[in-house]
A and B are shown apart, each in its own frame.
Chain A
Amino acid sequence: MAEPLLSAHGLTRHFGGVLAVDHVSIDLRPGEIHAVIGTNGAGKSTLINLLAGELAPTSGEVSLSGHALTGAPPHRLASLGVGRTFQRSNVFPDFTAFENCRLAAQARNARPWAVHEKALRCPTSGEAARRALAAVGLSRRSDVLAGLLSHGERRELEIAMCLATEPKVLLLDEPLAGMGAEESQRVLALLRELKPERAILLVEHDMDAVFAIADVITVMADGAVLAAGLPEAVRADPSVREAYLGDAL
């Protein structure tokens, strides 16, 4: 088993009196798709926000490749190779799909002082943007304003923007939500392609997709980890079956 790229230990987060995440530990290893499932309100999105730096934990640690980075701001984690998507599409609505991805790619190679160079002529970010758009199948829509894309296309753009930053760790918050069957299959195939060399965290509600693709599953309930391990073990776990009322599994 490879060393984890992103590792969290005992993460806890309070919101006033509410305990949203309760001593959650999770390891994201390269070559693995680690799915996190749970009912609504189980704390999955909060977990992603904690791992991505949007929220600081009340207690617990986060480390990247062994370096402690608890409480680091999102831009720091992102620049170190942690990419994420948002549960609700968080794009730049007044830019085209291409510009969205190009700007994302620019983060890798920002060079803000090079004011004499035109951003749109930059070959590196342009290439990375085109590659990312092609990977999610949005190439023919690259000149459409992001605000005018359909819901499913915007979810694809979310993923493309994350890809354009060439992350080592991907934190994906319900990427398939609102996507049709064909688009979902395309995204799952893409994730399988990306898997080697990268650690992928996938928060999802779509159980078929989760069991089709996940190498490791963590189940959350009420902010804490209910069960974690290989998909078959999780599927057979009685407390998990109970939490899900036997339905989806």
Chain B
Amino acid sequence: MTLARRTLATLALLALLALPLVAGKFYVDLIAKVMIMAVFAMSLDLLVGVTGLVSLGHAAFFGLASYVLVLVAPDPYTAVSLWTSLPLAVGACALAALAIGALALRTRGVYFIMVTLAFSQMGYFVFHDTKIAGGSDGAYIYVKPSASVGGWSPFDLNSGAHFYYAMLALLVLVFVFLRMLLASRFGHALRGIRSNEQRMRALGFNTYCYKLAAFTIAGAIAGLAGYFAAVQFGFVNPEMLAWHQSANVLLMVILGGMGNLGGAIVGAFAFVLLQDLFSSLTKHWPLLMGGFVILAVMLLPGGLTRATETWRFWRFGRRHG
């Protein structure tokens, strides 16, 4: 990262740390939601921006984790333990991603896009048509998971401020983990697969295994986000797995700029704030959103974090080096 970016990132982190001290409940909750979506977007960036796998079904894992949370609660009024339900949810997502990925990764290109979409639709119908967790009506989570371990509670998710800082910690942890992953041999291999998969195979890399591993990790992290989204919202329904959700998170990734993780965070912020803005303007806000999507993809193909590059390209034409 350049010095300018590092400074920006540090300032942003400081602002995020300070927010609950100066802002009201509405903004604290909103930014907490954005941070959860940023984790979701980063997980998809690992697939799309780094490995070159365009998945249109990523919401399946987001939604699955929230359903696991509902299903492990013995009844809606008892608090489950965070430390048992979270690993269960993330583990379930990892397994689901492994199973779906094993099949979907037998396909390439456009087939892969369509197949991931189809599998997430399947997930949607599982929760919509059957009576699991309320079917199409959804289910409520009246009591948030408890973080207590043997009587001692490090934090209370019912508190807006605690939840906010927990999400900030999650965002930072996931970011650091993924950065480490990208700098490792595994990460370099993934980038190689995106750049030229045939060459990677000819060099000796079993690209199917690498892609499956990336798919599984991405699914698990999406589950992490979905779990906390359910905790915050207090309500779970099949729409969390709907393809609109998958398309939205894909949009966040491309809006912010792919492959550098920071872009996913910026994209999540931009998208959620824009959605909020548009829906306050008109009930027909999808029209504005649709128009915005089209303009953004046409004019800023590299996303917001590459805006300076795009500007330079428009202004000066292609430059070498």
Please list the residues of chain A having a beta carbon within 8 angstroms of any beta carbon in chain B. Answer: 52, 54, 73-75, 78-79, 84, 86, 90-95, 99, 103-104, 106-108, 110-120, 122, 145, 148, 161, 165
Contacts and interface: CB of A to CB of B under 8 A. Distances in A.
Interface string B180-198: 1101111111011001101
Contacts of B184: 114-119
6 contacts: A75-B201, A75-B203, A92-B196, A112-B189, A122-B185, A145-B321
Contact of A116 (B180, B191, B206, B213): B180
A79 B185 CA distance: 16
For the residues of B in contact with A, the DSSP-based class is helix
Contact of B183 (A84, A107, A120): A120
Contacts, number: 91
B205 interface: yes
Interface of B: 180-181, 183-189, 191-192, 195-196, 198-207, 210, 213, 320-321
A155 B276 CA distance: 53
B203 A104 contact: yes
Contacts of B180: 115-116
Contacts of A145: 321
Nearest to B217: A115
Contact of A94 (B188, B195, B320): B195
Contact of B199 (A90, A99, A118): A90
A112 B187 CA distance: 8
Given A115-B181, A119-B187, A107 B196 contact: no
Contacts of B192: 92, 95, 103
Contacts of A75: 200-207
A24 B202 CA distance: 22
Per CB-CB distance, the 10 closest pairs between chain A and chain B, nearest first, are A78-B204, A107-B204, A79-B204, A92-B195, A119-B188, A112-B186, A107-B203, A115-B184, A119-B185, A75-B201
B320 A148 contact: yes
Contacts of B210: 112
Contacts of A118: 183-184
Nearest to B177: A115
Nearest to B191: A95
A165 B203 contact: yes
